[in-house]
Amino acid sequence: MMNKKKSLQIGLIGLGRMGRTHLRHLISQVKGVNVAAVADLVCRKEDFNNEFGEIPFFNDAQKILENPRIDVVVITTPTSTHKPLVEKAIHYRKHIFCEKPLDLSLEVTEELLNKAASAGVKLMLGFNRRFDPDFMQAQQSVAAGKIGRIQIIKITNRDPTIPSIEFIKTSGGMFMDFSIHDLDMARFIMNKKIVEIYAKGLVFMDKSVEEAGDIDTALITLTFEDGSYAVIDNSRKAVYGYDQRLEIFGDEGMILVDNNLYHQNILYDKNGIHKALPLNNFMARFERSYLKEMQLFTEAIQSGLPLPVSHEDIMAATTLAYAAQKSLQSGMPVKL
């Protein structure tokens, strides 16, 4: 386990889209850490060292897991590999940051969390939306009572383009892969118990999504214990970019988080008023949230303070995603 006086030794496993994002932050912007090694199944060592310098690199994740100098593993491999990697990390007593979802099964998710807790291993999941400065500010305003009692929260999360069918087939489906972020955000901002979920969804755009057993459009309604609502609308394709908006309506006001645009200039001419499009992908839109998430995770490990995403948060969002699927299949609301 870690020595508090030295910097935290990190091993990162999986150098794809998320792995690269976290690695860049860990190398240059997260304080008090050292990237001790990186592993990726397919990346070539020469290519890795050319891009990231002389950090030890392996194709086999076991080299990281069994290294006694490493305190923390960051797991950014595809979801289907999380379980075996997390189990091994627990076995070797490494603290864990894992990308979402932890696993597609509710039972396995609970089992992994319990195993980590009994081994004294800290485990956090990448619910990065919580760490976006705009969303964090909205959450703080709600918590401070600035807009009174909240009646409705509306979350819009639409991808710019449909992901590859290969990805869709292994992603766990729209609710577990995509809406899980919004389900976590609804809990994070409202900080109230959810008593019911009602999910509707269909394939609107691409029949191959249906053939892969998924949907591309969804609407989820959550009812909270005091009767207030969350409405989440999801789409796998928005032609104008990555659409990420939030509206919170209370009896003393409203908070609106609009899209982050490529630039803030607004051009007025005889045809109308013209603005830039929203940032076009999750890496650009949520860049600051991924950095903040990793800063707060590593600080919590170093200080021994609670992680900013708890086991309860992980179980709750996973349970909601699972219940959304049940609701879609039955056509009925699901009581929680």
Ligand X SMILES: NC(=O)c1ccc[n+]([C@@H]2O[C@H](COP(=O)([O-])OP(=O)(O)OC[C@H]3O[C@@H](n4cnc5c(N)ncnc54)[C@H](O)[C@@H]3O)[C@@H](O)[C@H]2O)c1
Closest approach of Cβ 228 to ligand X, in Å? Answer: 27
Q: Kindly report the number of other CB atoms within 10 A of residue 78's CB atom.
A: 13
Q: How remote is the C-alpha of 171 from its chain's centroid?
A: 13
Distance of CA 112 to the CA centre of its chain: 18
Q: Using the rule CB under 6 A, is 319 a contact of ligand X?
A: no
Q: Determine whether 235 is exposed, middle or buried from the number of CB atoms within 10 Å of its CB (0-12, 13-18, 19+).
A: buried
Find out whether 223 and 196 touch, Cβ atoms under 8 Å: yes
Question: Is 45 near ligand X (CB under 6 A)?
Answer: no
**Residue nearest ligand X (C-beta atom):** 16
Determine which helix (DSSP H) or strand (DSSP E) holds 39, and give its type and residue range: strand 33-39
Which amino acid is it at 109? Answer: T
- Helix (H) / strand (E) element for 115: namely helix 106-119
Is residue 260 at the binding interface for ligand X, with CB under 6 A as the rule?
no
Q: Is 166 in the site for ligand X (CB under 6 A)?
A: no
Closer CB to ligand X, 40 or 182, in the complex: 40
Check residue 236 for interaction with ligand X (CB under 6 A).
no
Binds ligand X (CB under 6 A): choice among 9, 77, 295, 327? 77
Taking the least distance from each CB to ligand X, the nearer of 76 and 224 is 76
Quickly tell me which residue has 């709750």 as its tokens. Answer: 316
Binder of ligand X out of 9, 109, 128, 234 (CB under 6 A): 128
Query: What is the 8-class DSSP label of residue 69?
Result: T
Q: Assess 217 for contact with ligand X (CB under 6 A).
A: no
Q: Measured between alpha carbons, how far is 147 from 114 in angstroms, rounded to an integer?
A: 38
At 297, is the secondary structure helix, strand, or coil? helix
Q: Of 286, 308, 315, 297, whose CA–CA distance to 18 is shortest?
A: 286
Nearer to ligand X, 78 or 145 (CB): 78
Binding-site member from 22, 95, 100, 292 for ligand X (CB under 6 A)? 100
- Tell me the C-alpha to C-alpha distance, in Å, between residue 332 and each of 65, 200, 221, 325: 44, 9, 12, 11
Q: What DSSP state is assigned to residue 155?
A: E
**40 part of the interface to ligand X, by CB under 6 A:** yes
Residue choice 8, 10, 12, 15 for contact with ligand X (CB under 6 A): 15
CB of 208: closest distance to ligand X in angstroms? Answer: 19
CB of 252 to ligand X, least distance (A): 32
**Is residue 42 at the binding interface for ligand X, with CB under 6 A as the rule?**
yes
Stretch that binds ligand X, among 13-21, 28-36, 107-115, 314-322 (CB under 6 A): 13-21
Q: Residue 333: CB partners within 8 Å, gap ≥ 6? A: 196, 197, 198, 221, 327
**14 interacts with ligand X by CB under 6 A:** yes
Nearer Cβ to ligand X (14/160) = 14
Establish if 99 lies at the interface with ligand X (CB under 6 A): yes
Q: Binder to ligand X among 41, 55, 231, 277 (CB under 6 A)?
A: 41
13 is a contact residue toward ligand X (CB under 6 A): yes
Among 2, 7, 16, 280, binds ligand X (CB under 6 A): 16
Among 79, 217, 234, 318, binds ligand X (CB under 6 A): 79
Place of tokens 């982050």: 260
What DSSP character marks residue 214?
A: -
Closest contact distance (angstroms) between CB of 51 and ligand X is 13
Cα gap 80→75, rounded to integer Å:
12
Check residue 241 for interaction with ligand X (CB under 6 A): no
Binding residues for ligand X, rule: CB under 6 A, are 13-19, 39-42, 61, 76-79, 81, 99-100, 126, 128, 177, 282
